[in-house]
Structure 1
Amino acid sequence: MAEETPRSSRAKMNIVSFLFRCPCAVLFPFLVIGCTNYSTTASVQAPPTLISVVNNGNSNFTIKVRAQNPEFIFQGYRLYSGISEKEVQNPTDLNLGSDCILGPSTLVQPTEYTFEIDPSTKANATGITCRIFATLTPGTYIAMRTLGLAINLQNSSSSFKVSTSSNALIVP
């Protein structure tokens, strides 16, 4: 057996060090070339449940929402408002709502979010998860959908995929 030279020993240490610091360099080629079992079916996001909506005055509302979003593709929520329950739960265009982008989440357990609905650009109040810049009118209906990131590998595009609708509430 040949004795290792200090130079070859250092080269091996550099390779091992590189692999620990940059595992994506090892995994990426395997995933691109060696992985043939993947799904082209979009992941389904769970819809949120609207708990309450409170009128704070001056076109400002607070909405309590319970949701569970354990997937890394989770991005946030989209609020829909309209004159009927059917209109907000089945809009003609799913892109017409107002978004609250929260970013990827690692939550596994259901959690309660507090959203502030306000057309102004002031900062979030304490305890507010996200501000949605929209105008609500008392007597109208609201519903929400979860936003998930949808990536199309065939044309290198990405967009939001929305969940089914939440329940609807009447704005007080």
Structure 2
Amino acid sequence: MIGHIFPFYRFSVFVWIVLFFGTCTNYSTTSSVQAPPTLISITNNGNSNFTIKVRAQNPELIFQGYRLYEAPSEALAQNPNDLNQGAQCLLAQTAIVQPIEYTFEVDPSSNANTAGVSCRIFATLTPGNHISFRTLGLAVDLANSTSSYRVSPPSNTLIVP
């Protein structure tokens, strides 16, 4: 209807869109890197159940959660051969996460979270091994319409008691 009243209306909208998107230079083709968390403590609760305290700040909208890595040495826990391996905890329901202390429960059973636990990671930890966390961020490739997780640099490590 407006196109009949104002014959150049459609053309002007098209020109505005081309000018706006054609002159926009504030974009990036590089992925955002999430900040790694800081591991505070790990406690053995018995029956292969562990509680891990973590401090983190991930105020980005692409934040998704955390991935736990375990290995016999500090170097292997921080730099595994495959970053896709490890047990993860997705916290996607909290789109923006401000500085906070998380409590994770690591337990191979499918029990519900204990009160006060931010997330349960279904894994078995071996005493004497080292653990490390990495932050997961969402990486979307618009060229082929795929998405994956991009991991942060590693956290510090703790030895499983």
Q: TM-score range by the shorter chain?
A: 0.7 to 0.9
After TM superposition, give the deviation of residue 76 of structure 1 in Å.
0.0
Task: Pick the structure with more strand per residue.
Answer: 2
Question: 99, 107, 117: which is aligned to 2:97?
Answer: 107
With structure 2 as the length reference, what TM-score do the two structures score? 0.84
Question: 111, 122, 129: which is aligned to 2:118?
Answer: 129
Question: 112, 124, 136: which is aligned to 1:147?
Answer: 136
Identity of aligned residues (%): 65
Residue pair 1:69, 1:105 contacting (<8 A) in 2 also: no
* Equivalent position amino acid for 2:96 in 1: T
Q: Is residue 2:32 matched to residue 1:34?
A: no
Q: How many matched pairs?
A: 143
* Equivalent position amino acid for 1:107 in 2: V
* Equivalent position amino acid for 2:63 in 1: F
Alpha-carbon deviations, 1:127-157, whole Å to 9, x = none?
0000000000111100000000000011110
After TM superposition, give the deviation of residue 106 of structure 1 in Å.
1.7
Q: Which residue of 2 aligns with 1:98?
A: 87
Alpha-carbon deviations, 1:41-87, whole Å to 9, x = none?
00010000000000000000000000001000000000000100000
Q: Which residue of 2 aligns with 1:7?
A: none
Q: Partners in 2 of 1:152 and 1:74 — Cα distance?
A: 16
SS in 2 for 1:145: strand
The unaligned stretches of length 5 or more in structure 1 are 1-29
Q: Is residue 2:35 matched to residue 1:46?
A: yes
With structure 1 as the length reference, what TM-score do the two structures score? 0.79
Q: Partners in 2 of 1:40 and 1:151 — Cα distance?
A: 11
The unaligned stretches of length 5 or more in structure 2 are 1-16
SS in 2 for 1:87: helix
* Equivalent position amino acid for 2:149 in 1: F
Residue pair 1:77, 1:144 contacting (<8 A) in 2 also: yes
Greater gyration radius? 1
Q: Partners in 1 of 2:31 and 2:112 — Cα distance?
A: 35
Which aligned segments of 4 or more residues in structure 1 are displaced greater than 6 angstroms? none
